[in-house]
Chains A and B, each alone.
Chain A
Amino acid sequence: ETGVTQSPTHLIKTRGQQVTLRCSSQSGHNTVSWYQQALGQGPQFIFQYYREEENGRGNFPPRFSGLQFPNYSSELNVNALELDDSALYLCARSMGRWVSNEQYFGPGTRLTVT
């Protein structure tokens, strides 16, 4: 087990709604990255937070936003949900911003948009 937890495990939303996904860890890993994994695809980088500040963003629109809290837990918010947002959302914790710092993934949140 990686010690990274995500909530909820599954959820179903309607197009146009908003959703908040959460990620926490028992460790002191100060960096969190969020990924979107569509069915049958590899994870795609959404953004990364390092010490509560956004540190890099992938090719995702502004309706994808995030937060990192002083205890290093994190939220991913998605506004105006679209059908294509249906995917597994993964958070990964690491100690430091470098890609070579080992990332520990949570089990993910399965989001279905109808």
Chain B
Amino acid sequence: GENVEQHPSTLSVQEGDSAVIKCTYSDSASNYFPWYKQELGKGPQLIIDIRSNVGEKKDQRIAVTLNKTAKHFSLHITETQPEDSAVYFCAAGFGNEKLTFGTGTRLTIIP
């Protein structure tokens, strides 16, 4: 089955700086790669996703890049703000198979 590894497990950045979180996956059939943000006491919320026919996708301060050959994808957050502090999860899947999640990255923005 699919295996998703996520790094780092914790990340602290100064407010205004950029944050990068990286994930690798094992199943070459995977073609859908979402990123979720989970705040305390809440369920994960989709913030951006990318499909395998696209190398990069951007939505305001958030971007995701995908390298299918190397089987890795990354989340980039620019101009970080205190409200970006949360746990972020990557995931991978295809078709009607299950989504496999990474182990999460706790991002702390230092004011």
Q: Complex Cα distance A90/B42, Å?
A: 10
Given A42-B89, A99-B32, A105–B96 Cβ distance below 8 Å?
no
Q: Which of the four size classes fits the interface of chain B? A: 20 to 34
Distance to closest chain B CB from A44 (angstroms): 7
Q: Complex Cα distance A81/B59, Å?
A: 43
Interface residue? B45 (CB, 8 A): yes
- Total A-B Cβ pairs within 8 A: 60
Asked whether, in the complex, the Cβ of B46 is within 8 Å of the Cβ of A102, the reply is yes
Contact partners of B94 in chain A: CB under 8 A: 99
Asked whether, in the complex, the Cβ of A90 is within 8 Å of the Cβ of B44, the reply is yes
- Of chain A, the residue at the smallest CB distance from B1 is A59
Number of A interface residues at 8 Å Cβ cutoff, please give it: 25
Q: Complex Cα distance A80/B29, Å?
A: 36
Distance to closest chain A CB from B100 (angstroms): 7
Contact partners of A90 in chain B: CB under 8 A: 43-44
Asked whether, in the complex, the Cβ of B98 is within 8 Å of the Cβ of A99, the reply is yes
Contact partners of A103 in chain B: CB under 8 A: 46, 99
Interface residue? B101 (CB, 8 A): yes
Contact partners of A102 in chain B: CB under 8 A: 46, 49
